[in-house]
Amino acid sequence: MTVLTLHATGPESPAEVWERYAEPARWPTWAPQILGVQVPEPRLAAGLEGRVRGPVGVTLPFVVESVDEAARRWSWTVSAGPVRLHLLHWVTEGPDGGSTTGLRITGPLPVVVGYAPLAQVAIGRLVRPLG
């Protein structure tokens, strides 16, 4: 397994960045690789299962492993057949205001390396005003 950690800092408040994570319906507004999300509940919770829809009709199942609202930290596992990608996200105060978000990706080397550029774009958008 390969582990890669990414960070992005921007002017958006930690509270707003957290809400963009906590409400899966908002993921497509900042993550260009996510075109839609199907979940039975409107907010992240440990054990939540759903599906993310990506480009060219690809739909992947996921399970939210943990959510800590107070710490603004959560993790989930996305599956593509036998391949599993574990993602741990967190949001903190930025060094000069705003917020910093981190993402630790764990999975097979080719998948982690292939996904990293998309993930970096997404978290960069996450910490900036949308629109």
Tell me the CATH number at 13.
Answer: 3.30.530.20
Q: Which helix (H) or strand (E) covers residue 7, if one does? A: strand 2-10
State how many domains the chain has. 1
Query: Which residue in 27, 77, 89, 79 sits closest to 58, CA to CA?
Result: 79
| Strand, coil or helix: 128 | coil
Instruction: Please identify every stretch of the chain with a pLDDT value under 50, giving residue numbers as ranges.
Output: none
Structural domain contains residue 131: no
| Strand, coil or helix: 97 | strand
Structural domain contains residue 112: yes
| Strand, coil or helix: 119 | helix
| Residue-wise pLDDT tens digits, 26-62 | 999 999 999 999 999 999 999 999 999 999 889 999 9
The pLDDT value recorded for residue 131 is: 74
The pLDDT value recorded for residue 57 is: 87
Structural domain contains residue 94: yes
Question: Radius of gyration over alpha carbons of the chain, in Å?
Answer: 14
Structural domain contains residue 42: yes
User: Could you tell me the residue range of the domain that residue 84 belongs to?
Assistant: 2-126
Residue 8: C-alpha distances to residues 47, 62, 89, 102, 120 (Å)? 27, 24, 11, 7, 8
